[in-house]
């Protein structure tokens, strides 16, 4: 086998291991999940996902898509602030950042039409 051109076995193993780390590490850069209706288990689209800032204001960090899924780059999530999920017709869902990052399925409770807007405050 001597005299064959190309990288050595050691170089190929190191290259392969580096490629596996690069490919498998991609999930570390984003947080993903799905929002569902607590009563029907149907996906809830266009849910606004916000994080509370140090000054008390809320910054939008993402939305759920047409299938209720979200995928937010972790660099958009600043450390420590509470996370709020809101949509007209549903009770707002507020949680600590650590709870948000450890969950991949969030259930939102529908509310009656005349109650829309209650409970959502800045």
Residue spans of the chain under pLDDT 70:
1-27, 113-122
pLDDT score recorded for residue 85: 97
State the fold for domain 30-115.
Immunoglobulin-like (2.60.40)
Length of the chain: 122
Tell me what pLDDT residue 65 has: 96
- pTM for the whole thing? 0.69
> What's the confidence (pLDDT) of residue 120?
53
pLDDT of residue 17: 47
pLDDT at res. 7: 63
Position 24 scores a pLDDT of 43
44 touches 70 (CB < 8 A) = no
> Domains of the chain: which residue ranges?
30-115
28 Cβ contact partners less than 8 Å away, ≥ 6 residues apart: 74
């Amino acid at each position: 086998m001597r005299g064959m051109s190309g990288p050595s076995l050691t170089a190929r193993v190191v290259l392969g291991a580096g490629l596996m780390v690069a490919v498998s590490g991609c999930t570390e850069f984003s947080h993903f999940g799905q929002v569902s209706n607590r009563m029907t288990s149907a996906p809830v689209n266009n849910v606004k996902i916000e994080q509370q800032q140090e000054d008390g204001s809320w910054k939008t960090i993402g939305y759920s898509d047409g299938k209720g899924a979200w995928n937010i780059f972790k660099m958009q999530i600043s450390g420590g602030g509470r996370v709020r999920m809101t949509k007209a017709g549903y009770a707002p869902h507020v949680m600590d950042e650590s709870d948000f990052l450890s969950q991949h399925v969030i259930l939102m409770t529908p509310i009656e039409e005349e109650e829309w807007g209650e409970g959502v405050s800045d």
